[in-house]
Amino acid sequence: MATMNISLPDPLRDWVQEQIQDGNYASSSDYVRDLIRRDKEVREQKAALQEAITAGLKSGISERSMDDLLADAKEKFAALNVH
C-alpha cells in the first residue's frame, strides 16, 4: 500500500482525532480512505446520472402521454420491490 503525507489546519486535524477517539474510525488513514471512497462513489453516481440525462435529451420527444409514462414507471418500481 502506498503512503501519502497530508497537511491539515489544526481544526481539521482535531476533527479527525475526535472521529478516531469517538470510535468512528481506527486511524486517520482509515478516515481519509473512507472519505475518498465516498467521494468516488458520489462522483460515479453523478456521472451515471449525467449520462442518463444526456441519453434522455438525445432520445427526443416521446409520443407517449405523461399518464402512460407514469404508469410504466410505477410498474417498473413495483417489480423492483417484489420480495
* Structure confidence by residue, pLDDT tens digits, 32-49: 999 999 999 999 999 999
Query: In angstroms, rounded to a whole number, what is the distance separating the alpha carbons of residues 24 and 16?
Result: 10
pTM value surpassing 0.85 = no
Report the sign of the C-alpha dihedral through residues 37, 39, 43, 46, in that order. positive
Domain ranges of the chain: 10-80
The C-alpha cell that represents 68 in the structure block: 402512460
**Banded model confidence at residue 81, pLDDT cuts 50, 70, 90:** confident
User: What pLDDT was estimated at residue 14?
Assistant: 98
Q: What share of the chain is helix, strand, coil (3-state, %, to 5)?
A: 70, 0, 30
Query: In angstroms, rounded to a whole number, what is the distance separating the alpha carbons of residues 71 and 69?
Result: 6
Instruction: Please give the residue that has the higher pLDDT: either 3 or 83.
Output: 3
